[in-house]
Structure 1
Amino acid sequence: MRIKEVLRHKGSDVVTIRPDATVGELVRLLAQHRIGAVVVLGEASAPAGIVSERDIVRHLHDAGADYLSSPVSGIMTAEVYTCDPEDEIESVAESLTEQRIRHLPVVVDGALVGIVSIGDVVKQRMDELRVERDHLTNYLQS
């Protein structure tokens, strides 16, 4: 199965933020949408970075609450790993695990078209395994 199938089920809406927005705005956005990461958009709708709850906690520990007025660009991860809608779920799962990341923006021709999380990938794989199990059970019972 491919990433485009995951996006078809979950949708392709992505919450984004500008690099010059404050960390406080970021915190409000994460809470409002009940999500764990936000893509930072740069020029031409291309991902310039990604920032997660973990980034906030680490910087809060180091800098204290004053950093809530700092720009998101100061805490975002600028090296953004991405995937393509045509990528296989298995290869994306491997990338998420190897890179120790939980969210992967989906990009086509440099433009953001969706985002998948490790939870999305696991859910899709579990659904596939259920279908396989049901087919095998039906086969053995017939």
Structure 2
Amino acid sequence: MRIRDILRRKGDTVTTVRPEATVRQLLAVLAEHNIGAVVVSPDGAAIAGIVSERDVVRRLHDAGAGLLDRPVTDIMTTEVHTCGPGAEVEELRGTMTEHRFRHVPIVENGRLTGIVSIGDVVKSAIDELQSEREHLVGYIQGAP
């Protein structure tokens, strides 16, 4: 299975925030969309960074409530791992596990075209296993 298959099912909508957005604005976006991370982008296509709930919590502990009025650029990850829609889901699963990140922006022709979470990757693995199980059960039950 490829990443494009996941995007076909879940959609290719990517929630972004501009680099000058405050952490407070970021939290509002996360809550409004019920998501765990957003891509930081000046134009919705280029990737400046990625920022997650986890980033906020860790920095909030160190900086206190004053963090809420600072720009997301102060807490975002700038070294963003991305992949293309043609990448194999199994390969991405390994990369996400090895590097311990939960969200990967999908880039095609230099433009942001989607985002995949570890939950999306796990769901695709479960769906594949369920499909294989159904085929095996059908084969066994249909055997003479």
TM-score normalised by structure 2 residue count: 0.96
- Is 1:130–2:120 an aligned residue pair? no
Cα distance, 1:109 vs. partner?
1.7
Unaligned runs of 5+ in 1: none
Paired residues, number:
142
| Paired residue secondary structure (2:115) | strand
Contact 2:3 2:85 in 1 (8 A): yes
| CA–CA separation in structure 1 for the residues paired with 2:2 and 2:83 | 11
Cα distance, 1:43 vs. partner?
6.0
Trace 1:23-62 onto structure 2 (pairs within 5 A).
Answer: 23-42=23-42, 45-62=45-62
| Matching residue of 1:111 | 111
| Paired residue secondary structure (1:139) | helix
| Paired residue secondary structure (1:45) | coil
| Paired residue secondary structure (1:14) | coil
Deviation sequence 1:57-77 (CA, Å, 0-9, x none): 011000000110000000000
- Is 1:86–2:86 an aligned residue pair? yes
| Matching residue of 1:8 | 8
Letter of the 1:82 counterpart: T
Contact 2:3 2:89 in 1 (8 A): yes
| CA–CA separation in structure 2 for the residues paired with 1:15 and 1:29 | 8
TM-score normalised by structure 1 residue count: 0.97
| CA–CA separation in structure 1 for the residues paired with 2:45 and 2:6 | 21
Cα distance, 1:42 vs. partner?
3.6
Determine what percentage of the aligned residue pairs are the same residue. Answer: 58
Cα distance, 1:44 vs. partner?
7.5
| Matching residue of 2:72 | 72
Unaligned runs of 5+ in 2: none
Deviation sequence 1:5-24 (CA, Å, 0-9, x none): 00000000010001111000
| CA–CA separation in structure 2 for the residues paired with 1:14 and 1:44 | 8
| Paired residue secondary structure (1:38) | strand
